[in-house]
């Protein structure tokens, strides 16, 4: 049984095939590839975009979706994760999509299930469909020529599962990554690092990926205030001027902390395109895992 827990679960060629399929799904027409199939979503952590994106993707393929309400589920009555998994499995869904605040939970669930498990984000560990949709957005923009393109990943990289999945995936497609963050947000990594976001970096990049400060994962307040952080790392027009580049962000955006209001409206900000691409990518992922397993 194949699952999608990290981006390493798919080979490069499979990802290119997924992109071809996702491109077709961008027409947003309903399909019936997953008619008669049922997909369960179980999100133990807040989500607006990812949850609704998976649900839209599943429905656009004709599947039925069971959205498990975690606040009302038996986990809040003390049921173990293993028992929750066994009970879900007994209902024979065709796929399960899970998000959890603890790293490793989707992997544990996958070992107990008889259907594909898709990781919708686990702790700081991994968010494979987000990285796939980010890469798809880059891939589409540069017409498949990702080799040697320069990307700055800016923000709370250490605590971001989006960053770790992107670092894992983007290098496979030849992107040249520089991590830009203050020391306390910088992970241990052999990649090029910069502790300042300066004009020279901007001059030499093709892509900026801005990330949200993951305050919910900080044990104590690290920056004096988010405003101080914004002074040094917010993507604003003064910084990017008219440089030819594209700007990505997985959302939710903290306006004027991650990205200024002005830049949010800029044509180079592809944030809503990422959301649109996300549905198409998730359609391709669900179709592949359910029909090819
Ligand atoms: C991200 C997440 O939840 O990991 N958001 C998302 O899935 N679109 C990033 C974040 O919360 O900052």
pLDDT of residue 82: 84
What stretches of 142-258 show up as alpha helix (H) in DSSP? 161-170, 199-203, 226-233, 237-240
pLDDT of residue 249: 98
The annotation status of 252 as a binding-site residue, yes or no, is yes
The model's confidence at residue 197, banded by pLDDT at 50, 70 and 90, is: very high
The model's confidence at residue 222, banded by pLDDT at 50, 70 and 90, is: low
Closest-CA residue to 140 (of 194, 41, 207, 224)? 207
Does the pLDDT value for residue 148 go beyond 80? yes
CB of 162 closer than 6 A to ligand 1?
yes
Angstrom distance (rounded) from CA 105 to CA 124: 12
Does the pLDDT value for residue 144 go beyond 80? yes
CATH code that applies to domain 7-127+275-292: 3.40.50.1370
Q: Please provide the average confidence, as pLDDT, over all residues in the chain.
A: 94
DSSP state of 74: G
Q: How far is the CA of 36 from the centre of ligand 1 (A)?
A: 30
CB of 250 closer than 6 A to ligand 1?
yes
pLDDT of residue 226: 80
* Number of alpha helices (DSSP H) and beta strands (DSSP E) in the chain: 11, 9
- In this prediction, residues 88-116 reach a mean pLDDT of 94
**What is the residue extent of each domain of the chain?**
7-127+275-292, 129-272
- In this prediction, residues 73-102 reach a mean pLDDT of 86
**39-76 confidence digits (pLDDT tens):** 999 999 988 899 999 999 999 999 999 998 777 666 76
Q: What are phi and psi of 64, to 5 degrees?
A: -90, 145
The annotation status of 141 as a binding-site residue, yes or no, is no
What stretches of 92-150 show up as alpha helix (H) in DSSP? 105-112, 128-141
Q: How far is CA 37 from the centre of its chain?
A: 25
- In this prediction, residues 133-161 reach a mean pLDDT of 97
Alpha-carbon distance values, 97 to 24, 89, 177 (Å): 23, 12, 29
The annotation status of 212 as a binding-site residue, yes or no, is yes
Q: What are phi and psi of 14, to 5 degrees?
A: -65, -35
pLDDT of residue 4: 98
pLDDT of residue 224: 65
Angstrom distance (rounded) from CA 120 to CA 52: 11
Asked if the 129-272 domain carries CATH number 3.40.50.1370, the reply is yes
Q: What are phi and psi of 83, to 5 degrees?
A: -70, -40
Angstrom distance (rounded) from CA 163 to CA 156: 9
Does the pLDDT value for residue 6 go beyond 70? yes
pTM of the model: 0.96
């Amino acid at each position: 049984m194949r699952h999608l827990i990290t981006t390493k679960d798919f080979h490069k060629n499979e990802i290119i095939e997924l992109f071809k399929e996702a491109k077709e799904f961008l027409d947003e027409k309903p399909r019936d590839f997953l008619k008669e199939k049922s997909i369960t979503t179980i999100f133990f952590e807040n989500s607006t975009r990812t949850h609704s994106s998976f649900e839209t993707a599943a429905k656009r393929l004709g599947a039925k979706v069971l959205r498990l309400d975690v606040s009302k589920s038996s986990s809040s009555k003390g049921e173990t994760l293993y028992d929750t998994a066994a009970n879900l499995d007994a209902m024979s869904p065709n796929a399960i999509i899970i998000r959890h605040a603890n790293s490793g939970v989707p992997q544990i669930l996958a070992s107990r299930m008889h259907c594909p498990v898709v990781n919708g984000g686990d702790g700081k560990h991994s968010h494979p469909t987000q990285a796939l949709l980010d890469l798809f957005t880059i891939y589409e923009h540069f017409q498949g020529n990702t080799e040697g393109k320069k990307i700055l990943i800016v923000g709370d990289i250490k605590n971001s599962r989006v960053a770790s999945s992107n670092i894992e995936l983007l290098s496979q497609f030849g992107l040249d990554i520089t991590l830009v963050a203050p020391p306390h947000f910088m992970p241990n990594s052999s990649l090029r690092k910069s502790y300042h976001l300066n004009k020279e970096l901007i001059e030499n990049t093709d892509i900026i990926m801005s990330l949200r400060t993951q305050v919910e994962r900080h044990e104590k307040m690290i920056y004096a205030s988010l405003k101080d952080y914004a002074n040094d790392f917010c993507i604003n027009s003064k910084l990017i001027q008219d440089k030819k580049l594209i700007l990505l962000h997985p959302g939710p955006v903290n306006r004027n902390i991650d990205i200024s209001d002005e830049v949010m409206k800029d044509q180079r900000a592809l944030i809503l395109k990422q959301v649109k691409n996300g549905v198409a990518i998730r359609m391709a992922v669900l179709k592949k895992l359910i029909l090819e397993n």
